[in-house]
Amino acid sequence: MIETPLSRPDRRTLLGVAMGAGAASLLPAVARADTPAVAAVIEGMVRDHGFQGVVLLGRRGRVQSVHASGMAHIGQGLPMRADTALGIASISKRLTAVAVMRLVEQGRLSLDGPITTWLPDYPAATGAHITLRRLLSNSSGAPNPFRAAVEADPALLREPWVGTAEAVRRLATGDLVFEPGARFDYALSNWILLLAIIEAVTGQPYPEAMRRLVLDPLGMRHTTPVAPPDVMSYRTVSPPVEWTNPRPPFLAAAGGWYSTAADLLGFAHRVYDTRFLSAASRAALTTIEVASDSYALGGRVRTVSIGGTDVRAAWETGNTNGYRSVLGHRLDGRGAVVILNNNAVPQRTMDGFAEALLRAQA
């Protein structure tokens, strides 16, 4: 095993199989030792990129191996554990998409109805042209004054009094930027509107609606919109430079959740491999809507070459401040990888790491 100066005090947390308290929260499994190929990929990532975080490989919802490397919170002297919950950023979008699909299945929402059906006070000149399908695929053309508003008033990210209605008015209202469906635009306004619609239809705050629709039914007991006190994200770890991650409630649907690797493995398995959702909902979540970005509803579908064969995978990534994450789930059910990181490893490197692990797993 390759050690870095940071990982040396924590060498027992870089394991081929999770032990002790870290294993208690994992899905039931008989974990096996890593293959030499998997071990080599992980050791190379720690050595070459200073990776610290959690790496989990599984198949059909069962953990095969899990590794924890480095520190969850340097200032508190807390090592990373297999069950550490880290910020998952935009993987939150896929969780939100699953909640929407459950409401579609209940007949309370429609992917292709105008958003004014559920937000009657939203300006009709814009809202009549925007659908849930376009919001979920970041192709709505919704107005996106968020960046300019935050630059003008940075306190917006720290003001808990900015409720959903105010966030919609200030950050997601205006003229269409482009004709819905014309192109991809990773605009936070899409997800502010989706959060508002979920709250309007369920009559519950978004976190409560998510708990009822997604988290509790899928057994995601360690997934929360509140930052755990025992984790921190970093710009650098030597020297340690903290990178705080303010997430106001109105951004929760876009990127506000914290989760564990085991919770995400279970989420992907139950959503893509079981009948938790209808066949139509599973197809909608894995059908590419925007070809230029391989984007479906709430996440991408990526083709990974494994053993000379092209394999489709549901591919969610997250990137906010120092938190980086990947959830890659083979749609043939033959493997999955979850990577959670808190020291700003470049997202392209994280994607390559995840692909290499899926190849090594095979």
Q: Are residues 85 and 227 in the same domain?
A: yes
Same domain, residue pair 86 and 232: yes
Which pLDDT does position 162 carry in this prediction?
A: 72
pLDDT on residue 16: 34
Residue 80 has a pLDDT of 98
Domain contains 191 = yes
How many distinct structural domains can be found in the chain?
2
Token output for 60: 């059909």
**125-136 residue pLDDT tens:** 999 999 999 999
pLDDT of amino acid 161 = 63
Residue 270 included in any domain: yes
Q: Is residue 3 part of a domain?
A: no
Query: Coil, strand, or helix at residue 184?
Result: coil
Do 279 and 334 lie in one domain? The reply is: yes
Q: Is 276 left (phi over 0), alpha (psi -120 to 50) or beta?
A: alpha
Instruction: Give the domain CATH number at 114.
Output: 3.40.710.10
Specify whether the CB–CB gap between 358 and 121 falls below 8 A. no
57 and 114 part of one domain: no
Residue burial 280-319, b: 16+ Cβ < 10 Å; e: rest: ebbebbbeebbeebebbbbbbbbebebeeeebebbbbbbb
Interval 239-264: pLDDT, tens: 999 998 788 899 999 999 999 999 99
The burial of 333, by beta-carbon neighbours within 10 Å (0-12 exposed, 13-18 middle, 19 or more buried), is given as: middle
Write out the catalytic residue numbers.
Answer: 90
Amino acid identity, position 97? A
Whole-angstrom distance, CA of residue 142 vs CA of residue 275: 33
Q: Do 237 and 352 have their domain in common? A: yes
Residues 355 and 228 in one domain: yes
Q: Which of 170, 192, 215 is the last residue of a domain?
A: 215
User: Which of 177, 194, 215 lies at the terminal end of a domain, its last residue?
Assistant: 215
Across 62-202, where does the E strand assignment appear?
62-69, 71-73, 78-79, 86-87
Which pLDDT value is given to residue 24? 33
pLDDT tens digits in sequence order for the chain, 362 residues long: 222 333 333 333 333 333 333 333 333 333 445 789 999 999 999 999 999 999 999 999 999 999 999 999 999 999 999 999 999 999 999 999 999 999 999 999 999 999 999 999 999 999 999 999 999 999 999 998 888 888 888 887 776 667 899 999 989 999 999 999 999 999 999 999 999 999 999 999 999 999 999 999 999 999 999 999 999 999 999 999 999 878 889 999 999 999 999 999 999 999 999 999 999 999 999 999 999 999 999 999 999 999 999 999 999 999 999 999 999 999 999 999 999 999 999 999 999 999 999 999 97
Do 86 and 225 reside in the same domain of the chain? yes
- Tokens standing for 88? 């998952």
Q: Which domain holds residue 42?
A: 8-91+221-361
* 8 A C-beta contact, residue 173 and residue 126: yes
For residue 257, being part of any structural domain is answered with yes
196 burial class (0-12, 13-18, 19+ CB within 10 angstroms)? buried
Does 261 reside within a domain?
A: yes
Residues 193 and 253 in one domain: no
